[in-house]
Structure 1
């Protein structure tokens, strides 16, 4: 085998596989096919913004245009003279152009971009060119023509479009080896940007979608590769048990959107009762929710798990000089605007030439008739003699003409009818010449001030065609939605502590919590090992599991308190730490890793609580103190890898909880979601305030019960609750009630003396009823009275409750409000009062960012992440 053969055939050692190079006609054919698909099928041209099929459709419509509607089937048939790819592709392309509602005036059922319904058959629908299309798309005198595919007709190379049509309509196509996706932009914004470009000003443009919706364009990247646009449906809460979608993301339909919602419901990601699609001219999708499901959380879940949020990756590829190139939408607009200016210039130059020719012939005609040059041809016997006679007769009078008189000019003069000569009006002829001179002067002025002319042209387009073309898509910066926070808990987690297994299939073992199939689970064992793993049917963690919970990424408020023995006979240490970042399925040691280490005490505190524990020592030697208390609040929160503080050198018998603690962290904001009557830290519902470890919630019910509770996320509330707010111990509570025993209205003011006790501040008589309760510092109420027969009603009274009664005990009867019959009691705006300032917090923040310097570069990082990186965690898997 020679060297050439060695190049063509490469045999791998110990295999039978032979690689053959593709050469010759195969290589050429594929390249020809790819070039054809790119240039003639899939990618639009920068000059007019059309693909070949679109250009041929619009050319055919112009040829058929007589102001009336044409059957689309007829237009498709006519277009087949130029486009050799069958009627179906032409009809589909025409429907797509029509649905963009810019170039085609439609009649009949052209489908619905909102629902995805298809258009009627082409024999049933009709179309004609819109006024806008006739204005900006066509100009035969500046159009470059080429032969059609069979050589029988002429078609435009590019249509002379005087508008950034490609950006207005958008384009999408898949070719061989490349694709394009240019998003549609707003009509008015494109015109404004073109004007700014002509004025030398900076501009920026972002997409606007016909389906409206909400979009985040912060990463649009000018439409280039690597950019991304996030689009969302517009979802609103209709009532406590239903949501309504009124706008959908670009690229979806109501059918595909509903299908994605039903799939998410089937998978347990969201919970819905039923969906109604009432879409017609406007989108209306009703989503009915089961009781106890938060509408706010469901909205976030719809964005996280359904097509209510989509990500679009633009890719601006166009054809320029018969080559595909990638340019940004800003550059597209500049080129389109500059091309429009060139077309306007070409049209003005043609118009100027035509006006000058009209002026030239009108002047010749005036001379020919006014000077009676036509008499000079009466004696001529030959055609050449006639031409010569007229030429000689004109010479004395043509010094003011702009060009020489040609034979063609003289021939046109001989074609003037006698009737016209006999009715020739010199004044009208002069007025016509002067009008032409004015037009010529205006065109020359426009050519000299071409930029101003182009700006005026764009402004005219905006004025004439901009009505109803305002922005549809709302621009907004999206916050990332954490799927684990909004996913519905669709499965149950179990644990076999002794054997060391966790999973959703261990139904005979201990139930831990509800979870979702995308959650992470954190586990601790009695040996001081820790691991985070994904929810699965059954996973081995390690024997003697002491704690299992759903793990929250970057959770700085869950604090773990730990007392452990280092080795079989080592010292005992204690520490507090949070777990904010780690590698999944890697085992971490919370002790020093010494063989035989064990955990004496462990607690997981969701809000950084620091309890007090009692340590019992084993009797050994001369130990005098076998029992002592430890307060975890005196211990600083550090990283999970620290050794901790020494507890004792002696052997520990047991550790018991003595007293529950309060949070040592900075205050956290807590909200109340009235729809599901639950607290949350995710920003849903009404903000109740910032809570420290010792802060409590005040609850008052319609039955006259008052109590305070810790603001735990798992707390549940009675349906008759009328007050829920952050409790300020010194702030008085004012109440007006109807006393069933006395049959009078009474008012009382009190403060809560025992925060741990639930008490009633009205008596238990069946007719006793709470009328009004206020937690303002200085409340004011208004009393209105009924109108007696035949008399005028008594004027309403205003009562300053603070002046009316002093603060008394919670069980006191209070003061009688009035002895008269009362029609209504209303709470008014309270009097101004400057509440005492709260003491500044000295609480601790967990794992605040630290600055480190690496190679003279200072960066900020989380201590936990830094700890993992220094230990080489990144080599084990993804850091999260």
Structure 2
């Protein structure tokens, strides 16, 4: 039986190894792959591509595949990553001169294969990026080649190109900036002046840099596509937001359309070398509102969070873009100084040898070579012969100098021109003085350098991205009403799925819904398919946060047998899914009357009391306009302590709020308060809108936003009761022009002012402005003569008469044309907004102010 021997198994903890390995890996990813160096602005792969291109540079284009293959000597991560990095640099159109299909930054199309496309360095790159004399070198990964630690870039390249990378535990995102603005900022910095720099993108678009925070962590910018309106039914995207291409943008628009956020008929992509995305709209859709909706619900607006993380030395740092520019500029100055010092040293060496050569030839020291048997004897003899003449040289003569002298060609010695040699030495001395001057005035030299770079390469690099402060778009105001909303009042359900119950309105899926119940309970909920609110729902509406113009009028009973109160209130902010008791917490409280008024209207109601011997009047009229708008939690004013039979509406009311600005959107023929279209003015109370059509029909309508104006109008404006309407019309029956001025009555009925119904009759001009003038251009008479034009003041020509009057004959002679001049309108003086009583739980109800008049005894 064999004897088995077991060696002791040794145990070793691996936790320490994992820790070291992870740190090594993290450091490698951060330093050697993901994060750029602050000095040259390159990640390692980009730096190696540029170095490889400089190696291959001969002025002609190289196949990208050839460049990638050469770069693999320095970058051990495969050809695909090198090709992708090279394409990204080439698409920025700064360092690489490209040929072939390098992809499209607008459409997102990828570049052709590396074997088909070609590249070479741009003149800018050759001048600014490379200088072997100032480059620090290190061995490549396999030790066979040298590669630059940092390229000696004399330009804030990191900020010009931008960069994005993800390391282990940190990331970087530096946005690209404008070429010329960076150079100007560097000059300002060197002059000791303040500067600001902001991003600029190849895809142009618009940018809000309000919260840019100089590119630091925590900052944010908003980029938008440029959207123009081609006509009433077509929008066109002509510029893209940063980081988005046309495909991504169109996908986001289609998704928003499918979700009902926007409403479009068709989308066409005609992008080639310029962006052109046409969005066709339906006839009932507002272009202005759609533009806002595109920014709110699609990638037409994107938010970008910059994060300026760079490698400084051998560790990452988080900086501002201003600090990066300052350090880049300082680094450029140090490189320029280093180049000048190298140049000065080279000039001094040239001067030294030129002077030594002149001494050697003019004094025929070369004759000392004769008779010498060895190099050492030759060198020693020449050295001895030179000593009497070398006192004025800048350094001692070395053996290397003597060797160079002995290597001078015989023909050069024999054809030596003393004057030409003297000129050469003087020229070198002049250059040396110039370099010394530059070194003594280094900042001025650096400023000239930056200025010259801008003159040479900045002609076609103007800012593309427009800086603009964006308005914050309220999504609830621009989203389409894409859902139908229903209510089951008896059972207390609301929602979009109750299609068998009562339809109340259209809304969007992001709206809030406000509900009021018979017992005075209010609740706000989100739009859902089906939501239980509570039985006996009195009112359902779309709730807008901060809405001070919607006023609710209410009469309720406090408790089962308590007194009756009335109040007016608005609801500006609430907590969703919370019950608010607006009548009273007492059991049995009930609303007897409720109205929701979108523009603060105050109606008159009649309160009918139950028969009671103590009551003098069984009927009470209440005008809500006499009641102040209080907080929703206030008790309100006392109506009566006696039992109420019912409350009836007596008369519709008008708005009691401050004036409201109203616009008219000609595309959808609707009024709005959101600033879309033409401003009609500030409206309040019973202010009206005047419309006049081509048939001579004038009509006054309210400024309710639900009104539609589907006809074509000659006039659509805010009505001024004291402003006369002027009209010049052609009477087809009589064949002459008439003029009339009249006032309109305050009625909602159509008022016709065109006396003639002849088919050839037409309105030449109608307007409401004072001091309009009419220039009459006469037709030629039978003899071919043309009467001199006349200009009249319409207000002075005729007085105000009745609307049915025919008016005065305007002109006897035949008219060729009538040119009307309307004075610039006088701006409307806005009334100040009235401060409304804030909502508070501590408000004191105004009891007894009106209620005491309605009861005989208390």
Q: Cα 1:22–1:479, aligned 2, differ >3 Å: closer, same or farther?
A: farther
Report the secondary structure of 1:157's partner residue. Answer: strand
Matches of residues 569-588 of structure 1 in structure 2 within 5 Å?
A: 569-588=561-580
**How far 1:664 sits from its partner (Å)?**
1.3
In the alignment, the residues of structure 2 paired with residue 842 and residue 281 of structure 1 have an alpha-carbon distance, to the nearest angstrom, of: 51
> Which residue is equivalent to 1:13?
none
Say if 1:665 and 1:846, in contact at 8 Å, map to a contact too. Answer: no
**How far 1:842 sits from its partner (Å)?**
8.7
Does residue 618 (structure 1) correspond to residue 610 (structure 2)? The answer is yes
Residue deviations 1:302-322, cap 9 Å, x none? 000001000011011111121
**How far 1:382 sits from its partner (Å)?**
2.7
Report the secondary structure of 1:715's partner residue. Answer: coil
Q: Cα 1:844–1:332, aligned 2, differ >3 Å: closer, same or farther?
A: closer
In the alignment, the residues of structure 1 paired with residue 204 and residue 545 of structure 2 have an alpha-carbon distance, to the nearest angstrom, of: 34
Matches of residues 837-876 of structure 1 in structure 2 within 5 Å?
A: 844-847=834-837, 863-864=838-839
Candidates 285, 288, 292, aligned match of 2:280: 288
Candidates 797, 800, 807, aligned match of 1:807: 800
> Which residue is equivalent to 1:480?
472
Does residue 127 (structure 1) correspond to residue 138 (structure 2)? The answer is no
Does residue 673 (structure 1) correspond to residue 682 (structure 2)? The answer is no
In the alignment, the residues of structure 2 paired with residue 201 and residue 778 of structure 1 have an alpha-carbon distance, to the nearest angstrom, of: 55
Q: Cα 1:652–1:310, aligned 2, differ >3 Å: closer, same or farther?
A: same
Say if 2:593 and 2:647, in contact at 8 Å, map to a contact too. Answer: yes
In the alignment, the residues of structure 1 paired with residue 556 and residue 822 of structure 2 have an alpha-carbon distance, to the nearest angstrom, of: 58
In the alignment, the residues of structure 2 paired with residue 829 and residue 533 of structure 1 have an alpha-carbon distance, to the nearest angstrom, of: 52
> Which residue is equivalent to 1:306?
298
- Root mean square deviation, CA, Å: 1.8
**How far 1:673 sits from its partner (Å)?**
0.6
Does residue 274 (structure 1) correspond to residue 266 (structure 2)? The answer is yes
Candidates 57, 65, 73, aligned match of 1:81: 73
In the alignment, the residues of structure 2 paired with residue 757 and residue 265 of structure 1 have an alpha-carbon distance, to the nearest angstrom, of: 41
**How far 1:587 sits from its partner (Å)?**
1.0
> Which residue is equivalent to 1:712?
704
Report the secondary structure of 2:427's partner residue. Answer: helix
**How far 1:745 sits from its partner (Å)?**
2.0
**How far 1:718 sits from its partner (Å)?**
3.8
Q: Cα 1:209–1:164, aligned 2, differ >3 Å: closer, same or farther?
A: same
In the alignment, the residues of structure 2 paired with residue 358 and residue 841 of structure 1 have an alpha-carbon distance, to the nearest angstrom, of: 84
Matches of residues 761-776 of structure 1 in structure 2 within 5 Å?
A: 761-763=753-755, 765-767=757-759, 768-776=761-769
Say if 2:731 and 2:756, in contact at 8 Å, map to a contact too. Answer: no
> Which residue is equivalent to 2:412?
420
Say if 1:557 and 1:846, in contact at 8 Å, map to a contact too. Answer: no
Residue deviations 1:250-281, cap 9 Å, x none? 10001111111111111111111111111111
> Which residue is equivalent to 1:857?
none
Report the secondary structure of 1:816's partner residue. Answer: strand
In the alignment, the residues of structure 2 paired with residue 651 and residue 496 of structure 1 have an alpha-carbon distance, to the nearest angstrom, of: 30
Report the secondary structure of 2:605's partner residue. Answer: strand
> Which residue is equivalent to 2:778?
785
Does residue 442 (structure 1) correspond to residue 434 (structure 2)? The answer is yes
> Which residue is equivalent to 2:96?
104
Say if 2:664 and 2:676, in contact at 8 Å, map to a contact too. Answer: yes
Candidates 779, 782, 787, aligned match of 1:794: 787
Candidates 402, 411, 416, aligned match of 1:410: 402
**How far 1:737 sits from its partner (Å)?**
1.9
Candidates 334, 337, 343, aligned match of 1:342: 334
Deviates further, 463-472 or 315-324? 315-324
Does residue 187 (structure 1) correspond to residue 184 (structure 2)? The answer is no
**How far 1:742 sits from its partner (Å)?**
3.1
Does residue 388 (structure 1) correspond to residue 393 (structure 2)? The answer is no
Does residue 828 (structure 1) correspond to residue 821 (structure 2)? The answer is yes
Q: Cα 1:834–1:500, aligned 2, differ >3 Å: closer, same or farther?
A: closer
> Which residue is equivalent to 1:698?
690
Candidates 303, 313, 320, aligned match of 2:312: 320
Does residue 353 (structure 1) correspond to residue 345 (structure 2)? The answer is yes
Residue deviations 1:371-426, cap 9 Å, x none? 11111221322322212211111111111111111111111111112111101111
In the alignment, the residues of structure 2 paired with residue 622 and residue 686 of structure 1 have an alpha-carbon distance, to the nearest angstrom, of: 58
> Which residue is equivalent to 1:850?
none
**How far 1:790 sits from its partner (Å)?**
4.1
Q: Cα 1:195–1:834, aligned 2, differ >3 Å: closer, same or farther?
A: closer
**How far 1:519 sits from its partner (Å)?**
0.6
> Which residue is equivalent to 1:853?
none
TM-score, length-normalised on structure 2?
A: 0.95
In the alignment, the residues of structure 1 paired with residue 787 and residue 711 of structure 2 have an alpha-carbon distance, to the nearest angstrom, of: 37
> Which residue is equivalent to 1:746?
738
Matches of residues 188-337 of structure 1 in structure 2 within 5 Å?
A: 188-337=180-329
Report the secondary structure of 1:783's partner residue. Answer: strand
**How far 1:833 sits from its partner (Å)?**
10
**How far 1:575 sits from its partner (Å)?**
1.1
Report the secondary structure of 2:25's partner residue. Answer: helix
Runs of 5+ consecutive residues of structure 2 not aligned to the other structure = 1-12, 843-858
**How far 1:867 sits from its partner (Å)?**
5.7
**How far 1:653 sits from its partner (Å)?**
1.1
Residue deviations 1:202-229, cap 9 Å, x none? 1111100110000000100111111101
Deviates further, 473-482 or 170-179? 170-179
Report the secondary structure of 1:231's partner residue. Answer: strand
Does residue 455 (structure 1) correspond to residue 415 (structure 2)? The answer is no
> Which residue is equivalent to 2:370?
378
Deviates further, 562-571 or 748-757? 748-757
**How far 1:621 sits from its partner (Å)?**
3.6
**How far 1:654 sits from its partner (Å)?**
1.0
Say if 1:70 and 1:128, in contact at 8 Å, map to a contact too. Answer: yes
> Which residue is equivalent to 2:7?
none
> Which residue is equivalent to 2:507?
515
Residue deviations 1:825-876, cap 9 Å, x none? 331235x9999x98x96984335xxxxxxxxxxxxxxx44x769xxxxxxxx
Runs of 5+ consecutive residues of structure 1 not aligned to the other structure = 1-20, 848-862, 869-880
Report the secondary structure of 1:339's partner residue. Answer: helix
Does residue 728 (structure 1) correspond to residue 720 (structure 2)? The answer is yes
Say if 1:703 and 1:720, in contact at 8 Å, map to a contact too. Answer: no
> Which residue is equivalent to 1:872?
none
Deviates further, 327-336 or 384-393? 384-393
Say if 1:590 and 1:641, in contact at 8 Å, map to a contact too. Answer: yes
In the alignment, the residues of structure 1 paired with residue 177 and residue 292 of structure 2 have an alpha-carbon distance, to the nearest angstrom, of: 28
Residue deviations 1:318-361, cap 9 Å, x none? 11121111111111111111111111111111111111111111
> Which residue is equivalent to 1:859?
none
TM-score, length-normalised on structure 1?
A: 0.92
Residue deviations 1:423-475, cap 9 Å, x none? 11111111111111011111111111111111111011000000110100000
Report the secondary structure of 1:456's partner residue. Answer: helix
Report the secondary structure of 1:690's partner residue. Answer: strand
